[in-house]
Amino acid sequence: MALAGCDTDGTPSVSGRHMQPLSDKLQSEIEAKNMEKESAILVRIFKEESELEVWKEDKTGRFALLKTYPICRWSGDLGPKIKQGDRQAPEGFYPITPGQMNPNSNYYLAINTGFPNAYDRANGRTGDFLMIHGDCSSRGCYAMTDEQIGEIYALAREAFFGGQKSFQVQAYPFRMTPLNMAKHRNSPHLAFWKMIKEGYDHFEVTRLEPKVDVCERHYVFNAESSSKFSAADHCPAYRVPQDIANAVSQKQRRDEAQTAELISRGTPAAPAAMGVDGAMNPTFLAAVKSHGGPGAVIKTAYGTIPAHVNPPEEAPTGSFMSLASADSRPAPAPNSSVQVASAGGSSGIGGFFGNLFGAKEEPKPAQPAPSVGTPKSKPAAAPKQTTTVVAAKPKSEPAPVVAAAKPAPAPPRQEANADPQPVSSTQSASATGNANLLTGAAPTMPSGGFENRFGAWR
């Protein structure tokens, strides 16, 4: 039987876990980074590194990295989800509204990504109930420990309490660095990855949530138009603020030059498929191995690994899955207190890749904090910059249609419902009403659920 995803609906919550407060330690970190408890958040996910980042708006109105969480388990291969049952976790841009927060999950707590979004639907992709949830078990989802999802859920809840109507999840195959683009240059998904890298670059140069639209079955970012965007139709004439367009263009030229140099220096190409079903962050994998494998509850600094965890098989010789380069991360701005938490450190697996192939990127001079774009909470003192006209018809790109080879599925958990639930008429109406947010249908929440606090926003 093909599995659509992680159906997380459970009985009405009586534990109150969805209302657990932020820890004193996390609140201290928030204050130390010049943030408010209820300020907006943004989430980035990186499959190859098995990491999830939570960014939070600071008092300058821009996003800064709050915390990096190692991902306990994700399934499938690098590349987007194509069809129901392929076990792929989604890649792309997904807005999360309060209605997508599930306090009654069979997997402790869950956040529905909203797959398929407008881009996915325009490209004929199928599947549903693809979540970020707890319990360290995945069938097309991003699975965290219960402790981690409790904290991530609480950060999202506080942002909604503070007035954020939706937060953006950006899901990537890997950190979109020149080294990783060089490694994966032969992937059948490269055209798709170059497209979503543009959104990655918009965020990197502005530290603002990029506005995301879809036309001609492509993502477009920070586009301003007097006409409506339609996912499957021709793109209308649109403009991107000139300071953002210039900054993104400069970054892309630098990245492309570095990628070409790395290839010319002999950076080996990754195989098209990993040969294993997903991955687990090295922190968790090491903990499981140190206990002789699964079968017992394992306590770690990042949360509890349940006894039923199904770790991935060892990657075959030549696989790059376990060689994700920690050295390819961009350095934080010199005046920022933001630090990227590393699960393994440069002396671990990432450092091994750099030493083995000699393909480590050259150190870059530290960059000042981004100044392009205008934070929403900071009105511009000067008149709006002149904008540049972007071609109405972006370069044609073939829609990715290559599905990853389907590995043997893990035995289903007894308490999880393996059958996808039908989408109700309420869900269809919600998806239509939020089409401008590229939101897919979310499971209907029970009457006592989180959504009731925010019904006026839908």
**Domain ranges for the chain:** 17-313+331-457
Specify the pairing of strand 101-102 against strand 41-46: unpaired
Work out the angle at residue 281's Cα, subtended by the Cα atoms of residues 321 and 139, and round it to the nearest 5 degrees. 85
- Of 68-77, 209-218, 324-333, the range with the lowest mean pLDDT is 324-333
pLDDT-derived band at 276 (thresholds 50, 70, 90) equals confident
Is 358 a residue whose pLDDT tops 60?
no
Q: How many CB atoms lie within 10 A of CB 335?
A: 8
Calculate the average pLDDT of the chain.
78
User: Are β-strands 303-305 and 298-300 bridged in parallel, bridged antiparallel, or unpaired?
Assistant: antiparallel
pLDDT given for residue 10 in this prediction: 55
Which range (203-212, 226-235, 306-315) has the least confidence? 306-315
**What is the Cα–Cα distance from 136 to 413, expressed in whole angstroms?**
12
Is the predicted pLDDT of residue 446 greater than 80, yes or no? Answer: no
Q: Is 140 left (phi over 0), alpha (psi -120 to 50) or beta?
A: left
Distance (Å, whole) CA 263 – CA 185: 9
Q: Which of 72, 141, 215, 235 is catalytic?
A: 141
State the pLDDT at residue 54: 98
Other C-beta atoms closer than 10 Å to the C-beta of 138 total 29
Give residue 174's pLDDT.
98
6 close to 133: Cβ distance less than 8 angstroms: yes
CA 417 to chain centre: 25
DSSP class of 116: S
Q: Alpha-carbon distance 458 to 456, whole Å?
A: 6
H or E segment to which residue 191 belongs: helix 190-206
Q: pLDDT band at residue 275, thresholds of 50, 70 and 90? A: confident
Can you tell me the distance from the alpha carbon of 186 to that of 178, in angstroms, rounded to the nearest whole number?
Answer: 14
Q: What is the DSSP letter of 170?
A: E
**What does the pLDDT look like over 6-34, one tens digit per residue?**
665 555 555 689 999 999 999 999 999 99
Residue 137 has what DSSP assignment? -
| pLDDT at res. 75 | 94
Q: Please list, in sequence order, all residues whose beta carbon lies within 8 angstroms of the beta carbon of residue 447, skipping any fewer than 6 positions away.
A: none
- Residue 383's CB: how many other CB atoms inside 10 A? 6
Q: What are 76-102's pLDDT values in tens digits? A: 999 999 999 999 999 999 999 999 999
- Give percent of the chain above pLDDT 70: 67
Confirm whether 215 is a catalytic residue: no
Please provide residue 57's backbone torsions phi and psi, each rounded to the nearest 5 degrees. -70, 130
Q: Which of 167-171, 271-275, 435-439 has the highest mean pLDDT?
A: 167-171
Q: What angle do CA 5, 121, 117 make, to 5 degrees?
A: 65
The full 3-state SS of 33-90, as one line of letters, equals CCECCCCCEEEEEECCCCEEEEEEEECCCCEEEEEEEECCEECCCCCCCCCCCCCCCC
Token pair for 170: 């950006």
Residue 314: the pLDDT is: 73
Q: Which run of H or E residues covers position 387?
A: strand 387-390
Of the candidates 456, 440, 458, the one whose C-alpha atom is nearest the C-alpha of residue 93 is 440
Higher pLDDT, 248 or 386: 248
- Residue 352 tokens read as 């091994």
Q: Is 18 a catalytic residue?
A: no
Which of 46-60, 72-86, 385-399 is the least confident region?
A: 385-399
Catalytic residue among 18, 133, 184, 202: 133
Tokens of residue 161, six digits: 């309490």
Q: What is the pTM of this model?
A: 0.76
pLDDT band at 414 (very low <50, low <70, confident <90, very high): very low
> Residue 159, SS3?
helix
pLDDT in tens, 130-153: 999 999 998 889 999 999 999 999
